[in-house]
Structure 1
Amino acid sequence: MPVFSGNPFSFASAADLAMPQISSSYDYTGIIVSVSIAIFASFCAFEMARRREQGRYWVTLGALMLGLGIWAMHFIGMSSFRLNCGVAYEPWLTLVSALPGVAAASIALRAIASRRIGYVRLLLAGVVMGCGVGLMHYMGMAAFQFQGRLLYEPGEFVFSLLAAVLSATLALLLNRRIAHGRLRRIPYLASLAAAVVMGLAISSMHYIAMGAARFLPLDGVQITSSINQTTLGLLASFATLMLLSFGLLFVFLYSKTLSARKRYESILSTTQQGFVLIDDTGHIVQTNVAMVGLLKQSSDQIIGKRLGDVLDQSVQDAHGAYQLQANLRCADGSLLPCMAYVNTFVDSSDGRQVSFALFSDISKRVAAEALAHAREQQFRALLNSTPDPMVISAADGCIVMVNLQAVAFFGYAHEAFIGQPVEMLIPAAGHQQFRQDYLQGADAPHRQREHAVCPHQRRARNSRRSKPEPY
């Protein structure tokens, strides 16, 4: 009578453990291949999760990569397992067993891809990941049919789950620590280190669980499934080939993207302007060395702030195309005058609105302007302290400054002088001769290019008695 392999979660009693088992062995080449597949799939998944800012679909692809990698690792390991009896696999359960790994990988990768995640949430993600690996394994074992019954030693069964949970949690914590620590600038390091731990977590869970399995002979059992050991090996090999092809393609394309990113970061690191990249939520997600120097803060202190947090004035919207003069709030409490140039673009990968801002240090210009203004005020004070009316014109003969005595003497408002030709204060008959004399004086190398006119020396016409003729 056809009989299925039995309840995969049945535990062996002391009497069962004392019974003779069906002899088994391993092809160690298959073990090495299965562990390598688990590590490679984990590496690709972690790298894809890092690209979440370039598109949310990367996390989904990473979950598929890791989930199918767990599945492929399990069945490559099973194809290397030799049991001294007839063996087959139930088709639908074999395929469905991939789902727990994909679901658990999706939760874990979304957790580590998040910019803000606490250790509690990270620990929960590790528990989910470990349980997902365990559920995938025992579902896969439920699809395993052989001429006997399958039982588990309780202690080793629990230990296999604990090993999966602890190792998966360690992998997530390691990835997070390296990705946000001093070693984050080393390409692939966070993903590679976490992938080794995660791959070993998946593999150790599988082989510990296989050690907990007891394959007891049972008379009268017939194999009805159409998937035998050879078919499973071909199916697992095809899945592995697809994983390798997609993974290698991803690594190749990402390496080219990384090279372009390095050039982009090199440009940002050498420019004298401060730079910040602002995401669609208004938070700074990237900065450069010049900005660190301007604010006197580390990049970690700058990232996560809003644009208005680093300026001494509120900014209604960090997005848009505009420029403004403002002061940067430095870490020591000082204010640094700067000119900010803000622009916005749409990220073609996910359609999100992203902005960037460039900051130029204008403290020297502001200081020079303040000094020039102070000197101008001193000169005006000196000019106004003289008892005589004074009119100062530029090289083109237009009035640029007058003192209070000139305003009182001529009777014009101060604004009426500025920008007007100095001939407005000279009788019309003398305009041509005055202009010639002035230009000759302006061209002479030993004379200044500015010309002061003392109206009391030209009293031919007093503006108090009559208005000057227009020039």
Structure 2
Amino acid sequence: MTLIQNFFLFDKSAPFLPSSYDPALIVLSVLVSIFSSSIALQMVGQSGPESSSKGSKFLILFAGSLALGCGVWAMHFIGMLSFQLCTTVSYDKTLTIVSMIPSFVASMIALAYVARPKIHWVELVVGGVLVGSGIGAMHYTGMAAMRTDVLLRYDPVFFSLSILVAVILAILSLWVRFGLSNLKLSRNVSTLVAGSVMGLAISGMHYTGMFAARFIGTPDTSFTTGSSNPTFLALAVSITTITFTAFTFAVNAFIRYRKLVNNLRTSETRMRAIVTTAVDGVFTLNREGRILDFNNSAEKIFGYRSEEVIGKNIQLLIPEALGNKEEDWIDKRLLGKFIGTGQESFGFTKSGGRFPIRLAVGYAKLPNEDILVCFVTDISEQKMIETALKQSELQKRSLIENIPGVTYRCLLNDKWTIVFLSEAVETLTGYPVSDFMEPNPKRYFVDLIVPEDRERIGAIVQEAVEKKKAFVLEYRILDKNGNVKWCWGHGSAIFGGNGEVLFLDGVILDITERRNMEEELRRSMEKAELAALTKTSFLANMSHEIRTPMNSIIGFTEVLLSGELKKDQVSHLEIIKGSAKSLLRLLNDILNTAKLEKGAVELENNTFSLFKLISELKSIFGLNARKKNLEFEVIRDPNLNEFFIGDSLRIRQILTNLIGNAIKFTDLGKVVFRIDLEDSYIHFSVKDTGIGIRADRLDKIFDPFTQADISTTRRYGGTGLGTTICKQLTDLMKGEIWVESEFGKGSVFHVRLPLVPNTRIDPHKEKLFDYQYPKLKILVVDDMEKNTELLKLLLSKEGHTVSVVYRGEDAVRKYSEETFDVIFMDVQMPGIDGLETARIIRFHEMQENVKRTPIIALTASVFQEDRDAAKDAGMDGFVAKPIDLPELLSELASVLQLNGVSGSKKETKVSALIAPSESDKERIKILFPEILNAFQRGTIEESHINELLTLITGKVEEEWIEKFLSNVNQFEFEEARSRLFEFSSFLNIPGIES
């Protein structure tokens, strides 16, 4: 309580001493406080990124705090010097000096906050309170240093106000320091404003505190204004201010110098790093062209180490850099040619290699010397790329110029505005390129397109662009002369980064010649198709016209042969029948060739017996060979399988042609038919001892209508189609056929077919010739009376009831009046033909819901399309003319789905009349092997057979002998052998085994 009473004044009646101030010193005190505050803030402002050292930052903060603290202290005592009191005043030296400590601490606090990049409002308030309190502590400590005879007390209100003023103004000064940064003022302006506020805070606190001071006592009457002489205070303020101001400036100068040195060092390091790590070669020169510095990249480019070139002339590296007069090379060569822009030149490596460079030169005029900085880039790779690009450009240009068409780039608009067009457009259109180019085109390419094609090709292009695919066009244009030209175009769209269409690129070819050729080919094809159609029509008509009378000739000949005739009549009829069948074979050959050329022949792959086929061929051609006194030998591979899958009909056709030709062209010797197994192939060969084939005709022997020569045709006849058909059928079966021949000595024809072996024949697929027919009611429809008469005769002999009509209309009427089991319908008839008649009958059956009547087509045509047409019209079977009775009955059985019995001939059992004697049996045992071996070879030993017949005549039934002789005469050797084995078994002749 005593301390407070000694500090504050509570008695308002106490006598106060009068006091006054010197205005000049007041202003000086304020300016000193502002000056010291600004100096301190300026010092702290240097503590930025450049002063990264903690020591530097502390030194700056310490110097600034010392300057500000000294300023606060100096301001206070200058203010005290301006204060005039009517008594003698002195100051305690110790307290006067100690009073600087609070201001220094306050300055440290204030400047520590100012040095921060940002400050929070809480930190702002705390800092302002601490700074204001420190200023107040300094002021009142300095006041306590006064020594006088009067009492010093303070008004509590104004005392508190002084502290409050110091705090508020300190907060304000800190806020101003950070707030001004948002106004983007310069550093000096913001420092001056913040220093002024801080100085006013110091001055404001001081003079508010002085206003709170109360001096109690009586005036000294002997005191005058000049009697007070505070020499110490004046000296202390002066020395302290000067010393610490000098220290502050020294620190400031040191910091600035150090910053400058660091900046220079950093700049030098940065520049050296740039030069050292630069990709380009960098080196410096003096005015004499001597190299002063040489970086790492320059070492790599030129191949020299830096110590090898420093001090050497630049001509060592770049001879072109120097002119003839070395003394003015900088002015006229380097500076005149290379400085500023850089130029291409050539450098030389340490190994002497010459390479292209880009050289740029910088010139610097230094106080002591002039230097040049040279930047060198190795452009070898760039030059290689440029060369490659030039070559590529030349290739593309050459390609574009040599493309047999027009290359273009255009915009996707209504006019297809041309961006690029090759010179070939003039050849195509007759107009030069300039006529189509912007900015003032004389015409647009799209206008040359024939109007009928524009919309179509526009739609194609648009669709291709939408689907981002290439487009292909064919269209017509009108050239300069008005000629129509066909063009083929191929192109695609080029798209930008946003998917927009930039251009259409493509090529246009003149295909007028190709289109004309296509048109010519089309006309030729039409002519060829017409010719083929005419040929087919001719063959069909020829087949019909020939087969129709042949039907009657062969049919009635067979009818006559089945009756009782004299021997010479039978001979004559057989000649007629043979000639008719020869003519029929000729016709079939022609038709077969036509069908094979047309590709109308289809193979039927079924299981068949190869042994049976060989036996039948042996029987057929053995007789023909015997008639020419030729030996016909059949040799069969013992490892050969019996059953195979294939088209036995076509195989028979090939072998029949080859064996028939061999016998026909052989007058003396023999014919050998050989069958061998070769892997998955069956190798047929037919060897003869005939006339042979000339060497120059061998390669044409399989061509149509080709024989050995004209004399051969005259002598032996024939069309030359047999070998052609063999070749075509062999190719169709994916086999091989070839011939070996020596003129005058004979020929060997080879056929290799890929036949698949099988185990047995499906019994349901065997062709049966003898059927159990019910008595049928048959309707025959044919416009040819002789055909209907023949059919009626043949079918009536089989026990059937036959009705005959001659037109389609009559057939429909007859069908509606009566019920028939089957109808034989001729296809080609005047009026309503057979096909239409069949359709009418089928429609009637469907309408009336009656049972379907089988219809068998009768036609002289043998083409597959005719069979298909008959089937489509509703016919159930197909029989070709001339009529073959077994074939007709087989087709009839197939249509009626009748069960057949074996077609083999009914066997005649051997019945002995008189048993042969023992001597006859012995002779028979000798004859049997001779006869059987001959049968095996396909020949007939007549003497042995006659002797055998002499031995058994009268001892066995005549019927057995007749059947045996019939088998021999028909070359049915397998059947004849079977009869002989049956005979030997029946007569119990030992030593003969089948």
What TM-score, normalized by structure 2, do the two folds share?
Answer: 0.24
What TM-score, normalized by structure 1, do the two folds share?
Answer: 0.49
Highest relative contact order (Cα 8 Å, sep 6+), 1 or 2? 1
- In our comparison, the structure showing a higher alpha carbon Rg is 2
